[in-house]
């Protein structure tokens, strides 16, 4: 079976490569062939965040890329890029980029990096990997990845026989949401979320600061709702941008959302305003839920949340009025307080009572194109994976848990399942995973650390070998096959020759594979050949898609929503939407969500709250020249009353110290604002870079992650709750600046 399709693959690929402008051939000389062929634009999809908007890169007269715009045919962006995507060329032109492979060495008794050629770097890595594999097995190698480059390394790891592959977009981001929605509807919401925002009559946002969180089509659709004067209910202790435009702003006391959600459930059920036919037909456990929330009245929740009971009741009625065209948004970054899966279960249950799953204006059923998977020989079965290290923890996780792999890499792991080598591809773990100390202890316990990045981010400082990846504008990557209302396939083609000695991840894994006799897995010269073959299987080609940028698969509206006439099966144990979950009960978790109070800040301390700014993505854009100009540092948002207590003015420079005595490495200025409550401070995540090679962003602002020494782990799936840290102000620098 494999052999036949393999031969096909090679034949088609070689034909394709001859007929098209394959990437590496395009840059065979210094004269861009795009110019010679008179090609004015090349399709790509954006890598500045993970929404992956499809766009066009335009060339100037000399054949140099000069602007990126959205592809009008792409439903994920509708022809418009966000400020970050528009500044994508800044990733390509950044003079601070990693330029050559680096190998850690000792010079004059001090550790430093020496520049290496690619063959030296590959040989070095392969020999260290070989040693780990011989002594411990391939299972002892772990891959942390995020983004397109990681996909290539993921295939290398599977081919080697390691299943220890994890991304922070799960246990530091949306993992609890996926587990909660799976546990309720038998399906996750995934990315892009299957929220039918443009058709909603009511949108409820719990945190979820859309507009600052700039996920493109989602924000565009929300703007149309605002224009249409649809009902927006924003639950946020901070007056977020969207809260300022909403009909109802519920300035909830942080960490108490569960009480509000349960009270809303109470009102829907006990005031008889839920979608009765839908609930009767599709749900399981209604009577249990009804008695569970009997006492959870708006008055009860008001005493916990600091909200007004009337407002809780009124907003529940607003949702019911809009039902089923109502979305209680499932959120995205939901790893907050450790009971996150249960909080999002409450969100899912609310949606079920409102009848919004599978209904227009609620959650649509998304579509994805069927692309034949990348052809490769079979993968060996690992002898063990991260799952076998859990020891009864996180029993309902649906994906690999980064922090569980860190635990397996830590010196305190006394089991025989140990991680001995890390590959870190496209994730700045130091800024991404809370409890930095533990991450660093695990890093220092490795025999090999390879970091593949485009920039000299903090994580590169812990590497034995740093491999410079070229930016997304200089390479092919996998076809984008995002779920949405309709399926689309988008392509990323190189628009420029890789700068310096940088290389695509697809090239790196091909080189490494040869050292392990696995080259059959990476049988291409240029990754474009694989894309051409895959596109050939769906009746297209790279050359055709180059002209259009996308393949659209239009779909009837009927297919997007529930067919009310025929029976609907859900992929849960009962085949119904589970308001009551036996699966959770069997694992020893609450079958229905329960409110538990969370610790409060001690006297003189404030809860550390954080979020996004529209012009930045995590820690990856702070050094981008264009975006740095728009926002070069973060500020510490404080309420006037807190400022008064501490005698802080707008612009006062402060360091923050957390509950464990950890002081921020750098200061940031106070932003005095009525938009904050008196129990928290707020900052935008992604600043406070401590790596000097990041010349534009080094020392600018405070890194929230270094103040997150307390982690509230979600016992159900291992998510790292990050909002249980408390900080106070310090007006003088710390004694030692940590880097």
Ligand X SMILES: Nc1nc2c(c(=O)[nH]1)N[C@H]1C(S)=C(S)[C@@H](COP(=O)(O)OP(=O)(O)OC[C@H]3O[C@@H](n4cnc5c(=O)[nH]c(N)nc54)[C@H](O)[C@@H]3O)O[C@H]1N2
Residues that bind Mo ion (CB under 5 A): 173, 333
- Helix or strand or coil: residue 73? coil
Name the one range near ligand SF4 by CB under 6 A: 102-110, 214-222, 565-573, 662-670.
Answer: 214-222
Residue with the shortest CB distance to ligand SF4: 85
- Which of ligand X, Mo ion, ligand SF4, none sits in contact with 53, Cβ below 5 to 8 A by type? ligand SF4
User: What token pair was written down for 280?
Assistant: 């009767």
Instruction: Enumerate the β-bridge partners of residue 489.
Output: 551
- Cα separation, 380 vs 321, in Å, equals 54
Q: Which does 727 bind (CB under 5 to 8 A by kind): ligand SF4, Mo ion, ligand X, none?
A: none
Whether the Cβ atoms of residue 685 and residue 699 lie closer than 8 Å to each other: no
Reported in sequence order, the residue ranges of 339-420 that DSSP labels E, i.e. its strands, are: none
Q: Which is nearer to ligand X, 13 or 668 (CB)?
A: 668
Report cis status (omega within 30 of 0) of the bond before 324. Answer: yes
Q: How far apart are CA 682 and CA 478, in angstroms?
A: 37
Six token digits for residue 454: 């485009």
- Sign of the four-CA dihedral 206, 212, 215, 217: positive
Judged by beta carbon distances under 5 to 8 A according to partner kind, the member of Mo ion, ligand SF4, ligand X, none in contact with residue 541 is: none
* Complex with ligand X: residue 425 or 448, whichever CB lies closer: 425
Residue 622 Cβ vs ligand SF4, minimum distance, rounded to whole Å:
14
β 668-672/653-658 pair status: antiparallel
Of residues 52 and 209, the one with the C-beta less far from ligand SF4: 52
Residue 61-80 contact track with ligand SF4, rule CB under 6 A, x = bound: ----------------x---
Give the distance, in angstroms, between the CA of residue 413 and the centroid of all CA atoms in the same chain. Answer: 28
- Rank residues 237 and 498 by Cβ distance to ligand X and give the closer one: 237
Q: Which two tokens stand for residue 484?
A: 């949405």
**Residue 635, beta-bridge partner list:** 669
- 723 and 599 Cβ atoms separated by less than 8 Å: no
DSSP state string for 459-485: GGGG-SEEEEBPPGGGS--PPB---BS
CA–CA separation, 437 and 487 (whole Å): 43
Residues between 82 and 121 that touch ligand SF4 (CB under 6 A): 82, 84-85
Smaller CB separation from ligand X, 216 or 488: 216
Query: Helix, strand or coil for residue 419?
Result: coil
* Closest separation in Å from C-beta 609 to ligand SF4: 23
**In the complex, least distance from residue 216 CB atom to ligand SF4, rounded to whole angstroms:** 4
Structure tokens at 634: 């973060």
Considering the complex, state which of residue 519 and residue 552 has its C-beta at the smaller distance from ligand SF4.
552
Q: Cα-Cα-Cα-Cα dihedral of 204, 205, 206, 212, to 10°? A: -170
Burial class (CB in 10 A: 0-12, 13-18, 19+), 136: middle
Choice between 199 and 619, CB closer to ligand X: 619
Q: Which of 218/446 has CB closer to ligand SF4? A: 218
Q: Which is nearer to ligand X, 618 or 698 (CB)?
A: 618
> Cβ of residue 246: shortest distance to ligand SF4, in angstroms?
22
Give the one residue of 57, 129, 214, 322 binding ligand SF4; rule: CB under 6 A: 214
CB of 57 to ligand SF4, least distance (A): 13
- Say how many Å lie between the first and final Cα of the chain, rounded: 54
User: Considering CB distances under 5 to 8 angstroms, the limit depending on partner class, which of ligand SF4, ligand X, Mo ion, none binds residue 52?
Assistant: ligand SF4
**Residue 123 CB coordination number (10 Å):** 14
Q: Which of 17, 22, 42, 48 binds ligand SF4 (CB under 6 A)?
A: 48
φ and ψ at residue 236, rounded to 5 degrees: -160, 130
Nearest to 102 by CA among 420, 497, 455, 476: 455
Q: Is 615 one of the binding residues for ligand SF4 (CB under 6 A)?
A: no
What secondary structure letter does DSSP report for 76? T
Contacting positions for ligand X (CB under 6 A): 47, 49-50, 146-147, 149, 168-169, 172-173, 206-209, 213-215, 235-238, 240, 252, 254-255, 257, 331-333, 336, 425-428, 431-432, 452-455, 457, 469, 471-472, 609-612, 614, 616-620, 682, 685, 704-705, 708, 722-723
Cα separation, 124 vs 269, in Å, equals: 64
Instruction: Please state the closest distance from residue 85 (CB atom) to ligand X, in A.
Output: 10
Per-residue binding string, ligand SF4, 633-672, x by CB under 6 A, is ----------------------------------------
- Could you tell me the smallest distance in angstroms from the CB atom of residue 685 to Mo ion? 10
Is position 52 an interface residue for ligand SF4 (rule: CB under 6 A)? Answer: yes
> Toward ligand X, which CB reaches closer, 342 or 541?
342
The tokens of 725 are what? 């840290």
Residues facing residue 720 across a β-bridge: 713
Q: How far is the CB of 594 from ligand X (least distance, A)?
A: 17
Q: Which is nearer to ligand SF4, 490 or 708 (CB)?
A: 490
Give least dist CB 8 to Mo ion, A.
Answer: 38
C-alpha to C-alpha distance for 701 and 685, rounded to whole angstroms: 10
* Closer of 301 and 452 to ligand X (Cβ): 452
Of 176 and 421, CB closest to ligand X? 176
469 binds, among ligand X, ligand SF4, Mo ion, none (CB under 5 to 8 A by kind): ligand X
* Alpha helices (H) along 518-559: 528-537, 542-548
Residue 214 Cβ, how far from ligand SF4 at the closest point, in Å?
5
Minimal distance, residue 74 CB to ligand SF4, in Å: 9
| Own/partner long-range contacts of 276-284 (Cβ < 8 Å, ≥24 apart) | 278/324, 278/352, 278/355, 279/352, 279/353, 279/355, 281/568, 282/352, 282/568, 282/570, 282/576, 282/577, 283/352, 283/576, 283/577, 283/578, 283/579, 284/572, 284/574, 284/576, 284/577, 284/578, 284/579, 284/580
Residue 216 binds to ligand SF4 (criterion: CB under 6 A):
yes
- Residue 46 touching ligand SF4 (CB under 6 A): yes
| Closest approach of ligand SF4 to the CB of residue 219, in Å | 8
Binding partner of 154, given ligand SF4, Mo ion, ligand X, none, CB within 5-8 angstroms per partner class: none
Nearest to ligand SF4 of 359, 616 (CB atom): 616
Residues 6+ apart with CB under 8 A from 214: 49, 82, 83, 84, 612, 614
The entry of Mo ion, ligand X, ligand SF4, none near residue 85 (CB within 5 to 8 angstroms by kind) is ligand SF4
CB 694 within 8 A of CB 701: no
The number of residues making up the chain comes to 739
3-state class (DSSP) for residue 235: strand
Pair 501, 118: CB distance under 8 Å: yes
For residue 65, the partner it binds in ligand X, Mo ion, ligand SF4, none, with Cβ less than 5 to 8 A by kind, is: none
Quickly list H helices, 186-256. Answer: 216-227, 241-244
Cβ of residue 311: shortest distance to ligand X, in angstroms? 14
Helices assigned H by DSSP within 633-698: 640-646
Of 84 and 266, the one with the shorter C-beta distance to ligand SF4 is: 84
* Nearest to 601, CA basis, from 668, 658, 677, 676: 658
237 binds, among Mo ion, ligand X, ligand SF4, none (CB under 5 to 8 A by kind): ligand X
Q: What number of chain residues touch ligand SF4 (CB under 6 A)?
A: 14
Q: Which residues bind ligand SF4 (CB under 6 A)?
A: 46, 48-49, 51-53, 77, 81-82, 84-85, 214-216
């Amino acid at each position: 079976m494999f052999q036949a399709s393999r031969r096909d693959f090679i034949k088609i690929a070689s034909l394709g490569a001859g007929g098209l402008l394959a990437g590496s051939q395009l840059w065979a000389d210094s004269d861009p062939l795009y110019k010679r062929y008179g090609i004015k634009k090349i399709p790509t999809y954006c890598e500045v965040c993970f929404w992956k908007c499809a766009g066009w890169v335009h060339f100037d007269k000399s054949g140099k890329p000069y602007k990126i715009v959205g592809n009008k045919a792409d439903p994920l962006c509708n022809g418009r890029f966000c400020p970050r995507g528009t500044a994508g060329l800044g990733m390509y032109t950044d003079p601070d980029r990693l330029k050559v492979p680096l190998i850690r060495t000792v010079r004059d008794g001090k550790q430093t990096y020496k520049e290496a050629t690619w063959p030296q770097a590959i040989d070095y890595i392969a020999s260290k990997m070989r040693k780990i594999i011989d002594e411990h097995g391939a299972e002892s190698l772990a891959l942390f990845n995020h983004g397109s480059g990681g996909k290539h390394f993921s295939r290398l790891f599977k081919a080697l026989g390691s299943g220890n592959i994890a991304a922070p977009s799960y246990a530091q981001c949306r993992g609890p949401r996926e587990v909660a929605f799976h546990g309720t509807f038998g399906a996750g919401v995934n990315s892009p979320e299957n929220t039918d925002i443009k058709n909603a009559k009511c949108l409820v946002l719990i945190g979820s600061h859309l507009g600052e969180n700039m996920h493109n089509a989602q924000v565009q659709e929300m703007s149309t709702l605002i224009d249409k004067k649809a009902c927006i209910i924003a639950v946020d202790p901070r007056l977020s941008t969207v809260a300022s435009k909403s009909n109802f702003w519920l300035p909830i006391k942080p960490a108490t959302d569960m009480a509000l959600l349960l009270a809303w459930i109470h009102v829907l059920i006990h005031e008889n305003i839920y979608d009765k036919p839908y609930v009767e037909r599709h749900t399981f456990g209604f009577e249990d839920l009804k008695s569970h929330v009997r006492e959870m009245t708006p008055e009860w929740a008001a005493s916990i949340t600091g909200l007004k009971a009337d407002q809780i009741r009124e907003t529940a009625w607003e949702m019911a009025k809009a039902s089923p065209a109502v979305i209680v948004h499932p959120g995205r970054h939901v790893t907050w307080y450790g009971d996150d899966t249960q909080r999002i279960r409450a969100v899912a249950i609310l949606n079920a009572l409102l009848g919004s799953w599978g209904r227009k204006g609620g959650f649509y059923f998304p579509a994805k194109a069927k692309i034949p998977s990348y052809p490769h020989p079979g993968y060996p079965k690992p002898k063990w994976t991260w799952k076998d290290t859990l020891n009864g923890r996180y029993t309902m996780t649906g994906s690999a848990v980064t922090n569980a792999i860190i635990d397996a890499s830590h010196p305190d792991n006394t089991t025989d399942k140990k991680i001995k080598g890390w590959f870190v591809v496209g994730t700045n773990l130091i800024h991404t995973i809370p409890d930095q100390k533990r991450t660093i202890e695990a890093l220092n316990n490795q025999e090999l650390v390879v970091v593949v990045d485009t920039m000299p981010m903090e994580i590169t400082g812990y590497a034995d070998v740093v491999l410079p990846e070229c930016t997304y504008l200089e390479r092919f990557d996998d076809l984008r096959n995002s779920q949405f209302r309709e399926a689309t396939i988008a392509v990323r083609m190189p628009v420029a020759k890789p700068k310096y000695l940088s290389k695509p991840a697809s090239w790196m894994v091909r080189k490494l594979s040869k050292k392990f006799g696995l080259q059959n897995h990476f049988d291409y010269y240029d990754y474009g050949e694989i894309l051409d073959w895959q596109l050939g299987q769906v009746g297209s080609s790279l050359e055709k898609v180059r002209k259009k940028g996308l393949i659209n698969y239009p779909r009837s509206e009927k297919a997007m929503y529930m067919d009310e006439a025929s029976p609907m099966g859900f992929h849960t144990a009962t085949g119904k939407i589970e308001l009551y979950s036996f699966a959770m009960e069997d694992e020893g978790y609450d079958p229905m969500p329960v409110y538990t109070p969370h610790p409060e800040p001690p006297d003189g301390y404030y809860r550390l709250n954080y979020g996004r700014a529209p012009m930045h993505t995590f820690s990856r854009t702070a050094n981008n020249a264009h975006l740095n100009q728009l926002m070069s540092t973060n500020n510490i948002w404080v309420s006037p009353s807190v400022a008064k207590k501490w005698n802080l003015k707008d612009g006062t420079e402060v360091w923050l110290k957390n509950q464990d005595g950890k002081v921020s490495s750098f200061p940031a200025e106070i932003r005095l604002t009525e938009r904050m409550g008196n129990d928290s401070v707020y900052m935008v995540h992604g600043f406070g870079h401590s790596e000097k090679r990041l010349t534009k962003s080094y020392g600018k602002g405070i890194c929230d992650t270094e103040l997150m020494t307390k982690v509230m782990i979600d016992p159900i799936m291992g998510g790292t709750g990050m909002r249980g840290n408390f900080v106070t102000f310090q007006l003088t620098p710390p004694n030692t600046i940590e880097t």
